[in-house]
Amino acid sequence: MTSKFHDPVLATETVELLVTNPDGIYIDCTVGGGGHSRFILEKLSQNGRLIGIDRDEEALTEARNVLDNRAQLLHSAFSNIAAAINDFSSDPADGILMDLGVSSHQLDAEHRGFSYRFDSPLDLRMDASKGTTAADLLKRLSLEELTDLIRTYGEDSQARRIAKAIHAEQNSRPITTTTHLADIIRRSVPATQHKSIPRVFQALRIAVNAEMAELEAGLIGAWSVLKPGGRLVVISYHSLEDRRVKLFFSSKTSPTDSAIGPAALIPLKPTGKRITRKPITPSDRELKLNPRSRSAKLRVIEKL
Ligand SMILES: C[S@@+](CC[C@H](N)C(=O)[O-])C[C@H]1O[C@@H](n2cnc3c(N)ncnc32)[C@H](O)[C@@H]1O
């Protein structure tokens, strides 16, 4: 199943590992174009229910068109999952999916500013109805803050050099478009450092959408509304995300009490069981059909 909006990544694997009860309640925290949700609904009976969350209204419009009436959709950030779900269901969930990152639609829609392939306003917000755009963020950041942001979220070794160039340009001619920003980065690093442009865009996107804080709050919230025996499936796309997912899973499968100091960690009873020992990655066939799946890592944990 391919879609102009977004091709779901590791769809077969996700659904096989996620859906254990055809009559159950499932939450897709990142419904996007409804790709994974459609696969989930195919495995559910007429009694099964799906709650789809996305912070992007354009995604919800698409999902509304492709999903049937067993799906209820909600415009929200997934950090808010526990409160949001209360409005739909008093029962805990049988399974929860988080397919992190951006959709193809977000990357390919000229007006969203996610890609430097187009000359667009430098926006990068997933929820275009609120928050700060990347252009506004650049206006506010000091040189130190910008360097930190590019180093931490873009993992670029040229962070200082790039930040200096952006900062200098910002002071003379504010950067408001994607191509303007890409030009400054291109001119600030040697031609061999072509990866710096996507890295800086990634860093800005993570900051504008508070992606790391969202992920941490989303994992905690998802765990709190999951049934014992229910599963949490997370697909991550870069090491910053995957690291947080791994740490969260370890805190459930091998919890420790460090109350008397880190030197004497006391093992506690696990509250989760890892279903995948190693992350699942796309097959060669999927990589060929959908190159955007290349960095995907799928991990699954079951609540005890
Ligand atoms: C990779 S896409 C999901 C695609 C979807 N699984 C599909 O198959 O169509 C990620 C989606 O998650 C949404 N998203 C990212 N972070 C979010 C958050 N913190 N809260 C809610 N939605 C979020 C994005 O707006 C985007 O639509």
pLDDT tens by residue, the chain, 304 residues: 567 899 999 999 999 999 999 999 999 999 999 999 999 999 999 999 999 999 999 999 999 999 999 999 999 999 999 988 888 888 999 999 999 999 999 999 999 999 999 999 999 999 999 999 999 999 999 999 999 999 999 999 999 999 999 999 999 999 999 999 999 999 999 887 789 999 999 999 999 999 999 999 999 999 999 999 999 999 999 999 999 999 999 999 998 877 666 666 788 899 999 999 899 999 999 999 999 999 999 999 999 9
Q: Report how far ligand 1's centroid is from the alpha carbon of 106 (Å).
A: 10
Nearest CA residue ID for atom 4, ligand 1? 32
CA distance 48 to 25: 6
Residue 139 shares a structural domain with residue 197: yes
Please tell me whether residues 21 and 52 are part of one structural domain: yes
Domain CATH number, residue 293: 3.40.50.150
Task: State whether 138 and 78 are in the same domain.
Answer: no
pLDDT of residue 2: 60
Residue from 3, 9, 18, 30 to probe ligand 1 pocket by mutation (most atoms less than 8 Å from CB)? 30
pTM confidence score: 0.95
What confidence score (pLDDT) does residue 88 get?
Answer: 84
Q: Which of these three, 165, 181, 208, is where a domain ends?
A: 208
Ligand 1 close to Cβ of residue 114 (< 6 A): no
CB–CB of 98/222 below 8 Å? Answer: yes
Say yes or no: 156 and 276 in one domain: no
Q: How many CB atoms lie within 10 A of CB 303?
A: 19
Regarding the beta carbon of 49 and ligand 1, being less than 6 Å apart is answered no
Q: Compute, in angstroms, the gap from residue 5 CA to the centroid of ligand 1.
A: 12
Say if CB 4 and CB 230 are below 8 A apart: no
Determine the pLDDT at residue 195: 93
Read off the amino acid at residue 24: G
Task: DSSP letter for 121, please.
Answer: B
Q: Is 75 helix (H, G, I), strand (E, B) or coil?
A: strand
Is residue 267 included in any domain, yes or no? yes
pLDDT at 1: 52
Boundary (domain end) residue, out of 180, 208, 236: 208
Q: Indicate if ligand 1 lies below 6 Å from the C-beta of 14.
A: no
- Based on the domain organization, do 179 and 160 belong to the same domain? yes
**Cβ contacts of 247 within 8 Å, gap of 6 or more:** none
Residue 199 sits in the same domain as residue 215: no
User: What's the sign of the alpha-carbon dihedral 140, 142, 144, 147?
Assistant: positive
> Which residue, 208, 238, 259, sits at the end of a domain?
208
Q: Is residue 47 assigned to a domain? A: yes
Q: Give the DSSP H or E segment for 298.
A: strand 297-303
Task: Calculate how far, in angstroms, residue 57's C-alpha sits from the geometric centre of ligand 1.
Answer: 11
CA distances (Å), origin 62, targets 34, 38, 54, 66, 245? 7, 12, 11, 7, 28
Statement to judge: residues 194 and 233 lie in one domain: no
Containing domain of residue 268, as a range? 11-105+211-303
CB-side neighbour CA atoms (13 Å) of 95: 27
- Total number of domains in the chain: 2
Looking at the CA of residue 56, tell me the nearest atom of ligand 1.
25
* 3 in any annotated domain: no
Instruction: Tell how far the Cα of 64 is from the centroid of ligand 1, in angstroms.
Output: 15
Q: What pLDDT, on the 0 to 100 scale, is given for residue 261?
A: 65
User: Cα(249) to centroid of ligand 1, in Å?
Assistant: 21
